[in-house]
Chain A
Amino acid sequence: MRVVPLLELRDFAVSLPAEPAPVRALRGLDLELLPGERLALVGESGSGKSTALLAIAGLLPDEAEITGGRRFPALGREPMPGRDLGLVLQDPFASLDPVLSVGEQIGEVLVAHRGARWAEARRAAVVLLGRVGIAEPEARVDDPPHRFSGGQRQRIAIAMAIAAGPRLLLADEPTSALDTVVQAQILDLLDGLVREQGTALLLVTHDLAVAGRIADRIAVLYAGRLVECGPAALLLRHPRHPYTRALLAIARALEAGTGGPLAAIPGTPPEPGAEPPGCAFAPRCPLAFARCAAEPPAWRGHARDGVACHRADP
């Protein structure tokens, strides 16, 4: 029997108004997320990955022009913020309210969704703080955010996002603002929490290493389109798309810490509005041949595992 997906994007496109021409942030994205699945959306800045996340959360500005399908079949309705989905943002120094204590911020979510009384909500906030690994939560629950370190703040932001027990947790570069050791801890925390609760996780990151650490499946985005997606382990071992290969080489070089010149993909992503007629990656691709510049590659494979490249074997 086929599992009913939690989230389904079909030919999903988003245009954001801008001068002189609107920016086509997403240009036909197909994506599927099963309940409890952990999917990483990987790409450079400007690839549209954050737009995709905001669109899924229903947070795009009203001016954004959206076409294509965005459905939540397992819910059967539009998700309720907080109750059905939680969001962890990149910068833990900006994502917590400086005025309220951390307990109040977590408690508010419980009051709003569980109809909890304030005293219960505070107790539940203590429990949540403990679960996300804040030491002595009882003593810290009334502290304001600025008494916490960046890593602790991100833990608190996570506690807030999961407080109402959402089925889908969205995370936008949740570790990019943190140092390496803390990054690993936060990833482990996220991993443990979603496993425990069976929450689906959609993680947006520019770092394939981060994606490989936590995701079951990886989807690679380039210039607003999916270029490759597949099971994480397989994709990292046998990347099919040249772009995925390049990203992987960078991640490996960074990990190895080779003292040589910084690994980078030559060239830049296409300017919005100036996408080439063929494959968007062709101008930077070492394997490009005539067909790549002329004809956009079709998707080979199926929705959950495939690649869009003339050079790749399906």
Chain B
Amino acid sequence: MTDLLLRFARDRAALLAACVLAGLALAAASAQLLWPLDPEGVGGPPLLRPLVDPAHPLGTDRLGRDVLARLLHGARLSLTVAFAAALAASVLGSAVGLAAGLAGGRLDELLMRITDAFQTVPGFLLALAFVSVFGPDARSVVLAIAASAWTGPARLVRAEIASLAGRDFVLAAIVAGLPRREIALRVLLPNALPPVVAYAATSVASAVLIESALSFLGLADPNRASWGAMIAEGRAVLVSEPWLSILPGLALLLTVLAVNLVGEGLNEALAPRRARP
């Protein structure tokens, strides 16, 4: 574990990105303390520009709501939804992949065809359909994103199980007479997980984007500040007050970039141990 962290820390970009992400998460979690203005309440004159009024350092929107407060609360929603979705997708996908890889034969065939079916539907379309059926609250957004994102981990885990099955240490575990369940959960699964972890990290980025896109289209909870919704609202005054769209756009860019870099760093840090014979 410490080796892993050390290797990760050697990648400066990934380390920086991890710090940015941690800062963002911390700021989002402590939004009330950090910047106690109500993100939904009218706090000042409308359309105040950034860096003019120290009471509203990032200005206000068309309804006079504080942009900084909305950004911070938006981060909270985006990050929570994205991480929850990536986690749900990884757990579900790993379970499906493990079952398929271990069972082989018909069950494998069945599970993989279901995975194929899910994979052929574009993820965003699936999420749209999901949210329009189950309503626009955060939980169904999480499920909507996970519903399309689980196929990646499922395929990864299945492929890893197949390649692990012939490895010496798995053979050793079989000859040691370990129960099948033990071999599956303690030997095969942990060894199959590193690529899933790296994949999950990058799928957080796409989850952030899908969540924003859904709220941009007005398909997320209208009563909670969200980056996508902020960009959508800013559109009406895009020409005269572009910062209203640019600021949440930058936040989105920064988050997605940071998540991707962390994902890549994780991938690199996890790879050498796996590559070692």
Contact = CB atoms under 8 A, between A and B. Distances in A.
A97 B177 contact: no
Contacts of A93: 276-277
Interface residues of B, number: 22
A99 B171 contact: no
B16 interface: no
Contact of B168 (A95, A99, A104, A164): A95
A113 B173 contact: no
Interface string A98-125: 1110001000110011000000000000
A99 B191 contact: yes
A98 B178 contact: no
Instruction: Give the bracket for the number of chain A residues in contact with chain B.
Output: 20 to 34
A89 B171 CA distance: 9
Interface string B157-195: 000000000011101111111110010001100110000
A80 B187 CA distance: 20
B169 to A, nearest CB: 4
B175 A94 contact: no
Contact of B172 (A85, A89, A98): A89
B186 A163 contact: no
A159 to B, nearest CB: 11
Contacts of A49: none
A113 B173 CA distance: 13
Given A98-B276, A99-B190, A157 B172 contact: yes
A99 to B, nearest CB: 4
The 3 closest A-B pairs by CB, nearest first: A82-B177, A81-B177, A94-B168
20 contacts: A59-B174, A81-B177, A87-B171, A87-B175, A89-B168, A91-B168, A91-B277, A93-B277, A94-B169, A95-B172, A98-B191, A98-B274, A98-B276, A99-B191, A100-B186, A108-B176, A108-B182, A109-B176, A109-B178, A160-B176
